[in-house]
Amino acid sequence: MTIAEVEQGRLRSPFFPRQAELDRLFRWHEWKGYASADGFYDTTLEYFSVRNSTGVFDLTPMTKYRITGPDALDYLNRLVTRDMSKIKPGRVAYAVWCDDEGQVIDDGTIFHLRQGEYRLCSQERHMAWLTAAAIGMEVSIVDETEDVCGLAVQGPTSFSVLQAMGLDGIENLRPFGLTTFDFQGTELMVSRTGFTGDLGYELWLTPDKAIELWDALFDAGKLYGIMAMGTEALEHARVEAGFIAAYIDFLPADVTVRTGRSRSPLELGLEWLVDFKKPNFNGRRALAEEKRNGSAWRLVKLDIEGNKEAHNSYIYAGKKGGKNIGFVTSAMWSPVCKQNIALGTVQAPHGKVGDKLYVEIYYQREMHWSRVMAEATVVDKPFWDPPRKRATPPGPY
Amino acid sequence: MSERYDTIVVGAGHNGLVCASLLGKAGRKVLVLEANDRVGGAAVTREFADGYSVSSCAHLLYQLQSQVTKDLGLKVELARDKLGTVALSADGKHVRINGNDVSGVGDEDVASYRDFRKRMTRFADLLKTYLNKTAPRLAKDASKSDMLTLAQLGFDIRRLGRKEMQEFLRLIGMNIRDEVTERFESDLLRGAVSFDAVLGTHLGPRSPNTIMTYLYRLAGSHARLSQPAGGMGSVTEALAHSARENGVTIRTGMKVKRIVVQNGRAAGVETESGETFSSRLVVSNADPKSTIMNLVGARNVETGFTRRVHHIRMRGDAAKLHLALDGLPSIAGVEKREFADRFVIAPDEVYVERAFNHAKYGETSAKPVFEITFPSFRDDSLAPTGKHVMSAIVQYVPYELREGWSDGARDAFTKLAIDTLSEYMPDLPQRITASELLTPADIEQQFHISGGHWHHGELVLDQFLFTRPVGGAHQYAMPLDGLYLCGAGTHPGGGVSGAAGRNAARAILKSEKVV
């Protein structure tokens, strides 16, 4: 494909023709070279499809690397902080990778497709770092972003949709498991993963059968409230799930310039992903030291009083304010939780679970600005965490 | 059977021996393992033809730090001290340089050279202080002593006085060509000074920071050249003797295959022959690339560090040409006693730059530059009576020859080098009875230095002080517990100076207390 053939210089996902037919908003943005929809009909409507029926999100722009070779496992174990030897074929792992200073470069999912064959998916591109990490290792890293397209099929009826589509045996797929099906002569990979904190699946296949997959899915989903969704609706769902996003809740360490602007996994509440039992991985020395000496920052989930969204708010230790101890990075009114929620960053040791903090919310009513200091409780669990997310087999809806 | 040591030093090069000796002196149980059959690394004297011996790489001593000789009580016997330099001219009108004096040039050049040397030695003295100290860390990781070193460095530069400070800061990043063309009329003088600035580097006189490399050369004894009796091998023999006196065990013919890493720390070494030795610390005298990429293995260290090490510039360009002669060649305008001096073939700075051009593209120089000595002239031990050896450093001979190094390529360049020399020594070809050419590829293979670069890494501002060998690992300790570097790849750099070995030993003694 040449630049001249790409409208606005943006790549189109193989699902684009179908998405274009549904699109009522004409709001698209760029995601790593691809056109990605903000939404198709209405953000709230699309959001409710994820929580009440099924939303379908186009994952094609997600960066995908195929990692193979005799050293693939050793390579990944050095790259990411968690122990990859525990991830057997047919399993998927959420992981973060750090630089030598223990600062997070990005997070993503690693699919153990077949013995010794992996796919790493992330929001950002990382070829330079992955290549550097391969120096001295026998491993091949191939960017297969354009060769594999994907759809996230998320929501309470998603299991029923896939069953109706004829994916026999999908009921046995456990969370973070992956399996393959024959789809019109092409291999369809289905993983029980997602970014919504709900029951959901991700479907992956080669672009030549993309339209057929879309049609089969939407045919099967007709009676189950299936709906295409864009990034805005997904963004709401992921905040409710308590998931962090690059460039919003943290900055990739390789793009920060000022010291102290990047974050370690410990600071992002991802200590459960760091396995100090591994003798070496990128960032281990620095993280071990941070663990001894204490972190500078802590990522917090906040349950805020009132209903005014706390976008970009400063966070204080006391109601009277004084010196701020941090700031909100993601905020929303959660319709499904009926809660005013936010993700934020505060200076340690503030932000322990149960701490009462205050957020300074500015809000506008008919042009005039007002300010409120709202009490915010630091909570531990994801805001939205329904049992169906974990149930195998998931029940019909 | 595994024997346990406090410290194992990989490689018995001069820095490894200095480091081992100082550690032994401090009471540590030290084992030195050398791949070759004799100690010295690249600083050895080898017989290259029946009865003819010569220093394999460096053949003149001028950087050996007084701190090193003092700490070890070392006495180096010299065959000749204070060698003069004869910058050869094909027409016999040579320029002679001795310390701050130069002859064979106009009066203005004489005064200008003296002025130039005065300033350069002053700057070099400033530098010397810091060559014998661990380079400080910067920013948030800096310790109290780092801050003191930094403050002292700033103070020392300021103390030069306003004008000289400005000159220092102006010159340190500059190229030698700009300075010599501004100062000197004489082509030969410009050529000779330029040559000294680029000797042993992958740099030409117009490359940035070649004034810094010139200063580095002066930062020992103001480039007072001397020739050790018995060649460079006797210096390392003396160091090995000192090490043994200090209780160090040295074993030769033991090529280390890998540094054993256990639970994220260096725990010993395994040799090619399959023997393992365990220790609390491993100190590598090998270059940073070989140490990290080959001996430790990238998988045992982190990615950012691996990438920086992988990118260290260390492509050697200096070859060694050794000739066995049945008598001294004749050189027009040179008296016999002057064969004790050093000869330089670098007719002007443009000639040197042009010689370098080829190396950028994987070719050998069509007109190479030379540093020539006749070590046997004042040292009978190196050649049979009445016969002589010539030892020459020839540039530029690229490590990665485009056509690849073969016997044919080596023979062709040997012929070209001898042809060039014949322009100054017409009867040389008839006097040659044997020859040896060590290309950077040979030096890599025989002395186990990646890229065959004598300095274990180009000496340039981005690989100097806080960034030698790489940023964040410049205080001898590597980012792998228990692993240290002590060779020329670390601060301050190459040359038979012993500074890196001594600094490393001091860093180890400071941070690794015996438990």
> Domain of A189: which CATH number?
3.30.1360.120
Judge contact between B190 and B172, C-beta under 8 A: no
pLDDT band at A4 (very low <50, low <70, confident <90, very high): low
Question: Residue type for B11, please?
Answer: G
* Same-domain check for residues A53 and A156: yes
Strands B483-485 and B30-33: unpaired
Domain range for B114 is: 104-218
* Same-domain check for residues A21 and A163: yes
CATH value at residue A324:
2.40.30.110
pLDDT band at B1 (very low <50, low <70, confident <90, very high): very low
How close A71 gets to chain B, by Cα (Å)?
10
A82 belongs to a structural domain:
no
B159 belongs to a structural domain:
yes
Give B302's contacts in chain A (Cβ within 8 Å): 78, 100, 280-285
pLDDT tens-digit series, residues A151-191: 999 999 999 999 999 999 999 999 999 999 999 999 999 99
Packed helices B14-25 and B499-511: angle between N→C axes, nearest 10 degrees: 40
Identity of the residue in B293, B300, B303 whose CB atom sits nearest the CB atom of A133:
B303
B90 belongs to a structural domain:
no
Judge contact between B415 and B422, C-beta under 8 A: no
Please state the rounded mean pLDDT for residues B455-465: 92
A8 against A131, higher pLDDT: A131
Does any CB of chain B come closer than 8 Å to the CB of residue A275? Answer: no
Q: What is the per-residue pLDDT for A2?
A: 67
How close A82 gets to chain B, by Cα (Å)?
15
Count of CB pairs separated by less than 8 Å, A with B: 60
What gap in Å lies between CA B36 and CA B32, rounded to an integer?
A: 12
* Same-domain check for residues A213 and A346: no
Total domain count, chain A: 2
B398 belongs to a structural domain:
no
B351 belongs to a structural domain:
no
Domain termination residue (choose one: A198, A215, A241): A241
A284 belongs to a structural domain:
no
* Same-domain check for residues A56 and A153: yes
Give A75's contacts in chain B (Cβ within 8 Å): 299
pLDDT tens-digit series, residues A281-335: 999 999 999 999 999 999 999 999 999 999 999 999 998 888 999 999 999 999 9
B301 to chain A: closest CA residue: A280
Give B299's contacts in chain A (Cβ within 8 Å): 71, 74-75, 78, 136-137, 280
A248 belongs to a structural domain:
no
Contact yes or no for B302 and A283 at CB 8 A:
yes
pLDDT tens-digit series, residues A186-214: 999 999 999 999 999 999 999 999 999 99
Q: What is the per-residue pLDDT for B150?
A: 87
pLDDT tens-digit series, residues B387-403: 999 999 999 999 999 99
Contact yes or no for A135 and B298 at CB 8 A:
yes
Give B264's contacts in chain A (Cβ within 8 Å): 279-280, 284
CA distances from A373 to A316, A337, A339, B221, B262 (A): 9, 22, 17, 71, 54
Report whether pLDDT(A6) > 60.
no
Report whether pLDDT(B141) > 80.
no
Tokens representing A84 are 């990859």
A129 belongs to a structural domain:
no
pLDDT tens-digit series, residues B122-140: 999 998 888 888 888 876 6
B85 belongs to a structural domain:
no
Identify the residue among A131, A281, A285, A287 best suited for mutation to test binding to B, counting B beta carbons within 10 A and taking the highest.
A285
pLDDT tens-digit series, residues B291-340: 999 999 999 999 999 999 999 999 999 999 999 999 999 999 999 999 99
Q: What is the per-residue pLDDT for A125?
A: 94
Q: What is the per-residue pLDDT for B40?
A: 96
Domain termination residue (choose one: A241, A256, A278): A241
Contacts of A175 (CB under 8 A, 6+ apart): A192, A193, A389, A390, A392
Beginning with the edge strand found earlier in the chain, give each strand of the sheet holding A63-68 in spatial order. A92-98, A104-114, A117-122, A63-68, A140-143
Identify the residue among B302, B312, B478 best suited for mutation to test binding to A, counting A beta carbons within 10 A and taking the highest.
B302
Q: What is the per-residue pLDDT for B2?
A: 60
* Same-domain check for residues A359 and A235: no
Contact yes or no for B264 and A279 at CB 8 A:
yes
A97 to chain B: closest CA residue: B303
Does any CB of chain B come closer than 8 Å to the CB of residue A79? Answer: yes
Largest CA distance in chain A: 66
Q: What is the per-residue pLDDT for B246?
A: 97
Largest CA distance in chain B: 70
Q: Would you list which residues of chain B are within 8 Å, Cβ to Cβ, of chain A?
A: 139-140, 261-264, 293, 297-307, 310, 472, 479
DSSP annotation string for A14-43: TTHHHHHHH-SS-EEEEETTEEEEEESS-H
B304 to chain A: closest CA residue: A100
For B74-88, B128-142, B149-163, B447-461, which range has the lowest pLDDT when averaged over its residues? B128-142
Give B472's contacts in chain A (Cβ within 8 Å): 100
At residue B372, what are phi and psi to the nearest 5 degrees?
Answer: -120, 135
How many CB atoms within 10 Å of residue B158?
Answer: 11
Beta pairing partners, A149: A205
What gap in Å lies between CA A76 and CA A367, rounded to an integer?
A: 52
Percent of chain B at pLDDT above 90?
Answer: 88
Q: What is the per-residue pLDDT for B466?
A: 86
Domain termination residue (choose one: A220, A241, A262): A241
Report whether pLDDT(A58) > 50.
yes
Tokens representing A192 are 């029980």
pLDDT band at A110 (very low <50, low <70, confident <90, very high): very high
pLDDT tens-digit series, residues A348-383: 999 999 999 999 999 999 999 999 999 999 999 999
**Which phi-psi region, left, alpha or beta, contains residue B437 (left: φ > 0; alpha: ψ -120 to 50)?**
beta
What gap in Å lies between CA B6 and CA A381, rounded to an integer?
A: 50
* Same-domain check for residues A51 and A155: yes
A170 belongs to a structural domain:
yes
A19 belongs to a structural domain:
yes
Contacts of B494 (CB under 8 A, 6+ apart): B200, B454, B455, B456, B457, B459, B488
Report whether pLDDT(B515) > 70.
no
What gap in Å lies between CA B316 and CA B450, rounded to an integer?
A: 9
What gap in Å lies between CA B515 and CA B512, rounded to an integer?
A: 9
A325 belongs to a structural domain:
yes
B203 belongs to a structural domain:
yes
A122 belongs to a structural domain:
no
Report whether pLDDT(B443) > 50.
yes
What gap in Å lies between CA B232 and CA B56, rounded to an integer?
A: 8
Judge contact between A34 and A10, C-beta under 8 A: yes
Packed helices B349-360 and B187-198: angle between N→C axes, nearest 10 degrees: 40
Identity of the residue in B293, B303, B472 whose CB atom sits nearest the CB atom of A282:
B303
Domain range for A367 is: 296-382
Total domain count, chain B: 1
* Same-domain check for residues A309 and A172: no
Q: What is the per-residue pLDDT for B138?
A: 79
* Same-domain check for residues A154 and A227: yes
B181 belongs to a structural domain:
yes
CA dihedral B172, B174, B180, B181 (to 10 degrees): -150
